[in-house]
Amino acid sequence: MGFARLSKGVDFSGPDGDANLVFLIAAPAGGGKEHLKILSKLARSLVKKDFIKALQEATTEQEIVDVVDAVLNPAPKTTEPAAAPAAAAVAESGAASTSVTRIVAITACPTGIAHTYMAADSLTQNAEGRDDVELVVETQGSSAVTPVDPKIIEAADAVIFATDVGVKDRERFAGKPVIESGVKRAINEPAKMIDEAIAASKNPNARKVSGSGVAASAETTGEKLGWGKRIQQAVMTGVSYMVPFVAAGGLLLALGFAFGGYDMANGWQAIATQFSLTNLPGNTVDVDGVAMTFERSGFLLYFGAVLFATGQAAMGFIVAALSGYTAYALAGRPGIAPGFVGGAISVTIGAGFIGGLVTGILAGLIALWIGSWKVPRVVQSLMPVVIIPLLTSVVVGLVMYLLLGRPLASIMTGLQDWLSSMSGSSAILLGIILGLMMCFDLGGPVNKAAYLFGTAGLSTGDQASMEIMAAIMAAGMVPPIALSIATLLRKKLFTPAEQENGKSSWLLGLAFVSEGAIPFAAADPFRVIPAMMAGGATTGAISMALGVGSRAPHGGIFVVWAIEPWWGWLIALAAGTIVSTIVVIALKQFWPNKAVAAEVAKQEAQQAAVNA
């Protein structure tokens, strides 16, 4: 522990004026909550005038050590035997008043890249500063998920679900009081969510997690998710599971073009199946009875065709994955099979991703409804494995083939024809709209809707779809890069925390991770979001105007080789970044955020005090 007495106090906006007594507590890793115990003892003593006076008037270092040591390590008190029961009662009362609530939290966002871990860190940091709660967080992100120990879940008093997607293996938490919200709330209001979880743990009527994969709703208190929000989360779950298929498949397609040449797309299937490493193709290949000549030959042509074929296989699953995991988010495991069946039917009849969205929601709701049936005990074990998937698949198939299939296919065909026919001002307008959507919520539902729109047509390989993908990727890269540059150009307009985030957000932007801009937007949405939307719209418009196309759905600057013309894409990205940087600096300069200004001033005063 260190102590300093400042000659010039520092304004911490406290009710008792400037602070001039400073304590520094350093605890070793693994030291648990020892530092909190020290803080607790100091806090009790700092309200005592004699303790403050002793610190203010001490003339030697040893006097300070003695005063503080007397508080942290008080001499044991001698008590009379007769007083022991009363002392025990007080101890028991104190123990009860400082009881610890055990909470398990799950955080998950659609992409599992940024929001997931930001929410986890926010909850963890808040819990570490409290002595009334023990928190364990399971991040269900894009990397490997380490499930919470079942013993910890069993001992938990409440759970927090901070997710924008379905919770994996939700049934593990059956019967536990639950507080549920979107992932952003855990980032912005961690203390409030923890307080609500503590309150729920003590409320016998609190909302609880049911064993069927959905939260029980009878006689509940606290935040309850409506059907609109649950369906939105289900769709986001479907998108999050679909993204790996799109990313892997799209990049494999792009690599196939890079190795085999762009004309290889006219005969990739024949090349990949008719030839081998010991029987490499020449420039001319028989494709369905027609001799076709390709720019490349030999190993490069064959290897490119194999990569392209593998990518096509992955892309063939995107609609089924979207539908299947949307249904899974609504109904749990019984919804997966009928969801995938519905997605496959959508592809067969030409309904595309629109049909996949419809079948996913439909399968999930039907499976959820059938799962609520009261059936004899002997049939219960067959429900999730046989009966629910069978009946739901039958209903989804009949609805799609007899009612919805043709109308949805017509909508999809009309949409594709419209995209293919766009040129000139209409294409620029679409670029502006897509740029605005990508930068509106920086990884949220609107951003993901635009991304889904772009990736859905990528498997067709037509120029219009590739131009849309290029505009979407470039616009999504603008916010993190622009904010990183802004923090370098005008540091005083940003808090120290934002300045620190700015040091790494540019790299996230280059990799097409829009979530790198979220800390800035959360702290100052009315200035940051409009500025980012202005840059995104600029990028989208220029990209579409220059006819830039991307064969890769993700990767940012690292897949520039899959973008044509690459120089046009870089111009669009640079222009949007410049616009967003200028606008965000101007808004913060001429319409200052008082909270940010106060934080910056406080940090400057503290630094000045340290230097003094």
Of 72, 90, 123, the one marking the end of a domain is 72
Whether residues 297 and 396 share a domain: the answer is: yes
Burial 443-469 (b: 16+ CB within 10 A, else e): bbbebbbbbbbbbbbbbebeebbbbbb
CATH label of the domain that carries residue 209: 3.40.50.2300
- Whether 88 is in a domain gets the answer no
- Whether 87 is in a domain gets the answer no
3-state secondary structure of 83: helix
**Alpha helices, DSSP H, located in 143-189:** 150-155, 183-188
Whether residues 269 and 166 share a domain: the answer is: no
Whether residues 399 and 465 share a domain: the answer is: no
Of 394, 417, 440, the one marking the end of a domain is 417
The per-residue pLDDT for range 167-211, each reduced to its tens digit, is 877 878 888 899 988 888 888 888 899 999 999 888 888 888 765
| Cα diameter, the chain | 106
Whether residues 242 and 166 share a domain: the answer is: no
Amino acid (one-letter) located at 389: P
Whether residues 216 and 249 share a domain: the answer is: no
Question: Domain range spanning residue 512?
Answer: 422-611
Q: Distances in Å between the alpha carbon of 389 and those of 34, 112, 165, 229, 231?
A: 53, 28, 22, 24, 20
- Whether 86 is in a domain gets the answer no
Please count the structural domains in the chain.
4
pLDDT value at residue 89: 40
Q: Which residue do the tokens 């990884």 mark?
A: 443
- Whether 92 is in a domain gets the answer no
- Whether 594 is in a domain gets the answer yes
Whether residues 384 and 497 share a domain: the answer is: no
Residue with more model confidence, 297 or 42: 297
Whether residues 387 and 456 share a domain: the answer is: no
Q: Which of 354, 340, 349, 347 is nearest to 401 (CA)?
A: 349
Phi/psi region, residue 16 (left: phi>0; alpha: psi -120 to 50; beta: rest), is: alpha
The per-residue pLDDT for range 553-602, each reduced to its tens digit, is 777 887 788 788 999 999 999 999 999 999 999 988 887 766 666 666 66
Of 180, 198, 225, the one marking the end of a domain is 225
Whether residues 201 and 219 share a domain: the answer is: yes
Q: What is the mean pLDDT of residues 547-553?
A: 84
Whether residues 444 and 538 share a domain: the answer is: yes
Phi/psi of residue 60, nearest 5 degrees: -135, 160
Catalytic center residues? 109
Whether residues 426 and 538 share a domain: the answer is: yes
pLDDT value at residue 257: 79
Structure tokens at 340: 């995938």
The string of DSSP letters for 440-498 reads HSSSSHHHHHHHHHHHHTGGG--HHHHHHHHHHHHHHHHHHHHHHHHHHH-GGGS-HHH
- Whether 298 is in a domain gets the answer yes
Give the whole-number percent of the chain exceeding pLDDT 90. Answer: 19
Spatial CB neighbours of 23, under 8 Å, sequence gap ≥ 6: 1, 2, 3, 42
Q: Is the pLDDT of residue 213 over 60?
A: no
Q: Is residue 123 a contact partner of residue 138, using CB atoms and an 8 Å limit? A: no
Separation between Cα atoms, residue 280 and residue 297, nearest integer Å: 8
Angle at 346 between CA 340 and CA 351, to 5 degrees: 150
**pTM tops 0.75:** no
Whether residues 585 and 507 share a domain: the answer is: yes
Separation between Cα atoms, residue 287 and residue 300, nearest integer Å: 18
Q: Is residue 327 a contact partner of residue 367, using CB atoms and an 8 Å limit? A: yes
Q: Is residue 472 a contact partner of residue 434, using CB atoms and an 8 Å limit? A: yes
- Whether 93 is in a domain gets the answer no
